[in-house]
Amino acid sequence: MPVILGEAAAQNVAFGIIAVVMAVAAIGVVTMKNIVHAALALVVVLAGVAAQYILLQAEFLGIVQVLIYIGAVLVLFLFGIMLTRAPMRRTGEFDNDQRVLAGLVALLIFGVLAYLFHDQFGNDKLHLGQPTPTSAIADSIFRTYVVGFEVVSMLLLAALIGAIVLARRD
Amino acid sequence: MPVTEYLLLSAFLFCTGIYGVLARRNGVLVLMSVELMLNAVNINLVAFSARLNDVAGQVFALFVIAIAAAEVGVGLAIVLLIYRNRVGVNLDEIDLMKG
């Protein structure tokens, strides 16, 4: 079997395909007329992000992305859609009348960001070696960033209690 | 491969999220657009983590994921509360604090 593509080229091709799918799905999330379809397009974007993590050798983050975003956050969104009785059929009433202005703002910010990134990091190359071992992430969390970890856990607890207090019927 | 590819992808996702936040009027759809923006930030963090061979970027991406989960929980609770107290969740009809 002759080797047709080198490793770096294969990585480039995979990145390109996933990136195009993600871009199309992201545009679908913000333009679709059916709210459930928009949520399903968000699944595609989140799965694409997980795939990019794995391409960037961050396997643990890829798994966490699938578990938390696709597993938990998306289900929460679908519950939100159903509990607020959003119209499931195709309607045009999900957009307000500042679409053109919003598009201009988004294009402007994209232009500035693209220029800055190209200017600052245009020559930077990624040298992807071995996948990051999960033990390295664990060491970093529980040694260098243990205070941040504790703060995040308290914040998560407070947010969950707050959500229950807000949403309960009394 | 150049790191700018990842940065441009994340910039695109971020700007799509900005468009969604500004142009959508349903509360749940606005929260979905916020998720797009948070994921764009995470891609940036992980790309720089790979560029600098430093695991700190991935740790911060994990923190962002945890905070995003908390944000969705509280956000959807608020949207439900608005739905219960008023008729719909159209954000441009919520103008009680308009002077």
Model pLDDT, residue B8: 94
Domain enclosing residue A164, as ranges: 133-170
Residue A159 falls within a domain, yes or no? yes
Model pLDDT, residue A5: 63
Q: Which of A65, A126, A142 to mutate to test the interface with B (most CBs of B within 10 A)?
A: A126
Distance from CA of B68 to the nearest CA of A (A): 9
Residue range B2-53, pLDDT digits in tens = 889 999 999 999 999 999 999 988 889 999 999 999 999 999 999 999 988 8
Residue A121 falls within a domain, yes or no? no
Name which of B62, B77, B88 is nearest A163 (Cβ-Cβ). B77
Q: How far is CA B59 from its chain centroid?
A: 18
CB interface of B with A, residues 13-72, below 8 Å:
13-20, 22-29, 31-33, 35-36, 39, 42-43, 46-47, 49-51, 55-56, 58-59, 61-63, 65-72
One domain for residues A87 and A32: yes
Distance from CA of A2 to the nearest CA of B (A): 23
Helices (H) and strands (E) in chain B, counts: 3, 0
Domain count, chain A: 2
CATH of the domain at A22: 1.20.120.1200
Q: Does 1.10.287.3510 match the CATH number of domain B4-91?
A: yes
One domain for residues A18 and A88: yes
Model pLDDT, residue A90: 63
Model pLDDT, residue A4: 60
Residue A23 falls within a domain, yes or no? yes
Residue A107 falls within a domain, yes or no? no
Model pLDDT, residue A94: 78
One domain for residues A97 and A138: no
β partners of residue B26: B90
**ipTM for the predicted complex:** 0.91
Residue A128 falls within a domain, yes or no? no
- Those residues of chain A that have pLDDT short of 70 are 1-5, 88-92
Are B36 and A45 inside 8 Å of each other by CB? yes
One domain for residues A76 and A145: no
Question: Model confidence at B88, in pLDDT bands (50, 70, 90)?
Answer: confident
Residue range A123-156, pLDDT digits in tens = 888 877 788 889 999 999 999 999 999 999 999 9
Model pLDDT, residue A1: 47
Model pLDDT, residue A2: 54
Residues 6+ apart with CB under 8 A from B58: A58, A60, A61, A132, A137, A140, B45, B46, B49
One domain for residues A31 and A92: yes
* Long-range contacts formed by A87-94: CB under 8 A, 24+ apart: A87/A35, A88/A34, A88/A35, A88/A36, A89/A34, A90/A33, A90/A34, A91/A33, A91/A34, A92/A33, A93/B25, A93/B90, A94/A33, A94/A35, A94/B24, A94/B25, A94/B26, A94/B29
Residue A94 falls within a domain, yes or no? yes
